[in-house]
């Protein structure tokens, strides 16, 4: 196994603000619904769905990006994603406007992270999203799609991937 570098994914910026605001508003809405609802079963069902949404959002949070000579791995709480180094075509920094300009098609938008899938983005095409810090986003183009990840230092992550790509060439 080749020597790999681990880049932690820590929440920053709006994710730190949005997470407690979203959870707090969900909890307040559920409490109001349960206490004021004439249909207790429906209110409890909504409460359970809110709890499930929070738990599922937490389970898919990106934890780290691992780069070694074989490829780039994205660690999440319950699963991960691996991109072989030979399939990576390009790596570059991206802005919030580029990434979020067309919206998030499927996934979580700000509750613990931005995780999901974006289809038909004008500048990036179709890609997966694993972001906790929107100021440090890196787009990795591979195969017939791409992935946007963030780490504590997007520049170091990008340099590491590019240097390993040039060694393989």
Q: 1-169 adopts what CATH topology?
A: PH-domain like (2.30.29)
Four-point Cα dihedral 118, 119, 120, 121, nearest 10: 10
Give the dihedral sign, CA 112/117/121/126. Answer: positive
Mean pLDDT, rounded, for 92-121: 83
pLDDT in tens, 91-102: 999 998 888 877
pTM: 0.84
């Amino acid at each position: 196994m080749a020597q790999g570098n681990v880049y932690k994914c820590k929440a920053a910026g709006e994710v730190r603000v949005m997470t407690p605001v979203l959870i707090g508003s969900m909890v307040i809405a559920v409490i109001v619904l349960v206490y004021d609802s004439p249909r207790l079963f429906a209110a409890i069902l909504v409460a359970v769905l809110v709890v499930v949404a929070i738990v599922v959002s937490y389970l898919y949070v990106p934890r780290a990006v691992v780069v070694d000579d074989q490829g780039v791995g994205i660690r999440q709480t319950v699963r991960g994603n691996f991109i072989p180094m030979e399939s990576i075509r390009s790596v570059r920094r991206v802005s919030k406007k580029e990434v979020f300009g067309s919206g998030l098609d499927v996934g979580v938008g700000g509750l613990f992270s931005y995780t999901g899938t974006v289809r038909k983005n004008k500048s990036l095409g179709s890609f997966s999203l694993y972001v906790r810090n929107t100021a440090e986003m890196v787009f990795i183009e591979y195969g017939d799609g791409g992935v946007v990840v963030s780490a504590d230092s997007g520049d170091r992550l990008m340099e590491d991937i590019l240097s390993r790509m040039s060694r393989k060439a």
